C-alpha cells in the first residue's frame, strides 16, 4: 500500500531525529530505525489498530515515547504525525483533511 507523510509529520520526524542526534548519534539512529520499522509494519498491515470516529489510528514505538498517527485513504496511507507522548494531545487534528 502507498504511504505518504503529511509535510508536518515529516518535519516532526526530522526534528526528533535531530534532537536525539544532538544528544547521541546512536539514539538518533535507533529512533529513526524504530520509526522506519513501525511505518513498514503499518504499510503491510494498516488495519491492525482500531480507529477513532475520524478514522485515525496510531501505533506506538516500543522504546521511544512516540506514536505514528495515520489514516487510511482510498489512495493509501497518510501519516499525520510522529507524535511525542507528552505533547498536546491531538495537536495534529487539523491535518486530517490534507
Decide if 20 is inside a domain.
yes
Q: Which domain holds residue 26?
A: 3-86
User: Given the C-alpha cell 491535518, which residue does it identify?
Assistant: 95
**Per-residue pLDDT tens digits for 45-80:** 999 989 999 899 999 999 999 999 999 999 899 999
Looking at residue 93, its pLDDT comes to 86
Decide if 97 is inside a domain.
no
- 8 A C-beta contact, residue 3 and residue 42: yes
Decide if 92 is inside a domain.
no
Helices (H), 1-98: 7-23, 25-44
Lowest-confidence region among 15-19, 30-34, 35-39, 46-50: 46-50
Of residues 98, 2, 9, 7, the one with CA closest to residue 58: 9
Specify the CATH number for the domain of residue 62: 3.30.2310.20
| pTM assigned to the model | 0.92
**Per-residue pLDDT tens digits for 3-27:** 999 999 999 999 999 999 999 999 9
Decide if 12 is inside a domain.
yes
Decide if 55 is inside a domain.
yes
- 8 A C-beta contact, residue 72 and residue 47: yes
Looking at residue 6, its pLDDT comes to 97
Amino acid at each position: 500500500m502507498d504511504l505518504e507523510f503529511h509535510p508536518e509529520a515529516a518535519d516532526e520526524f526530522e526534528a526528533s531525529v535531530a534532537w536525539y542526534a544532538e544528544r547521541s548519534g546512536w539514539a538518533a539512529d535507533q529512533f529513526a530505525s524504530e520509526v522506519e520499522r513501525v511505518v513498514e509494519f503499518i504499510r503491510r498491515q494498516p488495519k491492525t489498530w482500531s480507529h477513532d470516529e475520524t478514522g485515525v489510528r496510531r501505533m506506538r514505538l516500543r522504546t521511544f515515547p512516540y506514536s505514528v498517527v495515520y489514516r487510511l485513504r482510498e489512495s493509501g496511507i497518510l501519516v499525520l504525525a510522529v507524535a511525542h507522548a507528552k505533547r498536546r494531545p491531538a495537536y495534529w487534528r487539523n491535518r486530517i483533511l490534507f
